Amino acid sequence: MIKISKNSIAGLAVLLVLMTVDAVFAQNKVKGNSKFPFHMPEVQLPKFKADTLNILDFGAIPNTNMLCTKAINEAIERTSKSGGGVVLIPSGLWTTGPIKMKSNVNLHTKNGAFIRFTDDMSQYKLINSYFEGSKTIRCESPIMGIDLENIAITGQGIFDGNGMAWRPIKSNKMTAGQWEELVKSGGVLSKNGKTWYPSQGALTGNEEQDKLPKIRTIDNMEPYKQALRPVMVSLVNCKKVLLDGVTFQNSPAWNVNPLMCEHLTINNVNIRNPWFSQNGDGLDIESCRIGKVTNCRFDVGDDAICIKSGKDKEGRDRAKPTELFVISDCVVYHAHGGFVVGSEMSGGVRNILAKNLTFIGTDCGLRFKSTRGRGGVVENIWVEDVRMSNIPTEAIRFNLYYFGKNAIEDPVTGELMVESMPVTEETPAFRNMYFKNVFINGAKQAVKIMGLPEMPVENIQFKNVFALSEVGMQINYAKQIVFDNVDLSLEKQDFSVKMANSQNVSFQNFNSIGQKQLFLIGGDSTKTISLNSKNKKMDFQDIKIPETIRSQVELID
């Protein structure tokens, strides 16, 4: 009889995991063409007649505070009714209320065109709209289009949403001098004096919910409309959309939000918000199919490039995943997250390729987040060729326990120990993701993975990751995770990797310098761990681990 050791069984299990992961990605690559790891349809671009109408011919007056709303919208309406074409906004300062896009119209802005949306709240009607993944009453967006086809906003102009007229601001996001000037400008303060609001209605709508109508209607919410901040660019259920060359900045809430759109092209666009802007997301692609985001720049107050698909039951019932997107050649400066999936992802996210991205000073680089109650599946995500510098938190973060509470710490690793719950349609799942060629020059932490005990983050492969960071990696509630050719240079004398409650995790060609010890492993459910160092022969002196799970770890020469 041939005796097989537990370590050999563990090694065989890890080998099977590696083969499975490689097979998954190979299979997906076969399905697509040479450029993409999945079948990526050609993104259809809108086409327009050459006919051009100038807003000057409709009575628009530049370089004044006179509203051009009527002129712009009449030009758009006329162009659409005549079969389509171009509406031209020449150079100059233009003040306007909401712009309403129509099918077959290219709203083209000349270099030097600065379109500023008015702070006159009476210009923005309350409507039934969407925000943060849910149907809700909201003010009209500065730029909006619903059920349209063949539309574009192009040129070199700047659209400014005048967000300071809408947004609350927290005192800890400003210097003492800035805060003093803001308070002197008017508005009202919260009871604790730490948040400024532009009006009493805005304060009541945000902080005094008990004073709001129990059954909310467009009419009875009018006094609180300044709290119902719109996204700046709202395109709902539109097909063949092009945003090219323009700048969108200073939005009331989210900046650009395509929702349930198909064939979306965003190219050479600048999206900017003050770093302190509340809900100041850059681009929120929500429940959309087939698109490209290329060569864009982001400097915003919340997440930058966000992939979403609705929130909780409403998102699950909508059942429209965001899928078939390529995001490439983009730069993110300040943002809460550079490339982000979630947390409103209840309709699912799949078949996304993100490549050649640069994050400079972004709070978190690659950010994946959800929580119990969301449901939805995020899968088949490829991220390649990413550079990060000066990241204040984690360079790569998975958190499926977003907003979670009431957890205790693992006595060995200090990781959160979360009570397992039954798997239901409300359980989010993140799986089948591939990260390749990630370079991190300065971060608080290189990688943090926090799944759920009932639904671990699953089937993730990291290849060629090089990180200079304060500390290394944390892994909790994960399975089928492969790290291949990871190199850490750590600034703090801590463990390179802390791991708990995880299964089938493999480190191949792993190297780390600057740590006090390589691995800290705990968690009663931890099993089948394989460790290999490319520069030294590992032994159990490199690992702090309870004897109860030591047999689950195999050291490979």
Calpha distance 256→243 (Å, rounded):
10
* pLDDT tens digits for range 329-370: 999 999 999 999 999 999 999 999 999 999 999 999 999 999
Q: Is the pLDDT score of 6 beyond 70?
A: no
Mean pLDDT value of segment 8-15 = 38
Calpha distance 553→506 (Å, rounded):
10
Q: Largest alpha-carbon pair distance within the chain?
A: 94
Predicted local confidence at residue 536, as pLDDT: 85
Query: What is the H or E stretch that residue 533 is in?
Result: strand 527-533
Mean pLDDT value of segment 506-513 = 97
Mean pLDDT value of segment 388-399 = 98
Q: Is the pLDDT score of 209 beyond 70?
A: yes
Find residue 479's DSSP bridge partners.
458, 503
Token pair 């005796």 is at which residue? 3
Token pair 């799944």 is at which residue? 451
Predicted local confidence at residue 4, as pLDDT: 33
Q: Quick one: pLDDT band at residue 406, thresholds 50, 70, 90?
A: low
Q: Which of 457, 168, 473 is nearest to 341 (CA)?
A: 457
* pLDDT tens digits for range 159-194: 999 999 999 999 999 999 999 999 999 999 999 999
Q: Is the pLDDT score of 15 beyond 60?
A: no
State CA 270 to chain mean position distance.
16
Q: Quick one: pLDDT band at residue 68, thresholds 50, 70, 90?
A: very high
Does the reported pTM lie above 0.85? yes
Predicted local confidence at residue 34, as pLDDT: 60
375: Cβ contacts below 8 Å, ≥ 6 apart: 312, 313, 315, 316, 346, 424, 425, 426, 427, 428
Calpha distance 276→274 (Å, rounded):
5
Residue 34, preceding peptide bond in cis (omega within 30° of 0)? no
48 close to 152: Cβ distance less than 8 angstroms:
yes
* pLDDT tens digits for range 249-286: 999 999 999 999 999 999 999 999 999 999 999 999 99
Mean pLDDT value of segment 43-50 = 97
Query: What is the H or E stretch that residue 21 is in?
Result: helix 6-31
Mean pLDDT value of segment 27-49 = 78
Q: Is the pLDDT score of 128 beyond 60?
A: yes
Residues designated as active site: 302, 336
Calpha distance 462→382 (Å, rounded):
10
- Name the token pair of 458: 């699953």
Q: DSSP secondary-structure letter at 542?
A: G
Q: Which of 297, 318, 294, 321 is nearest to 307 (CA)?
A: 321
Q: Is the pLDDT score of 516 beyond 90?
A: yes
Query: What is the H or E stretch that residue 272 is in?
Result: strand 270-272
Predicted local confidence at residue 28, as pLDDT: 41
State what percent of residues in the chain have pLDDT above 90: 89
Q: Is the pLDDT score of 238 beyond 70?
A: yes
389 close to 360: Cβ distance less than 8 angstroms:
yes
324: Cβ contacts below 8 Å, ≥ 6 apart: 38, 40, 41, 289, 290, 291, 351, 352
The lowest-confidence range among 321-330, 375-384, 412-421 is 412-421
Q: Is the pLDDT score of 404 beyond 90?
A: no
Query: What is the H or E stretch that residue 457 is in?
Result: strand 457-469
Predicted local confidence at residue 414, as pLDDT: 78
Mean pLDDT value of segment 66-87 = 98
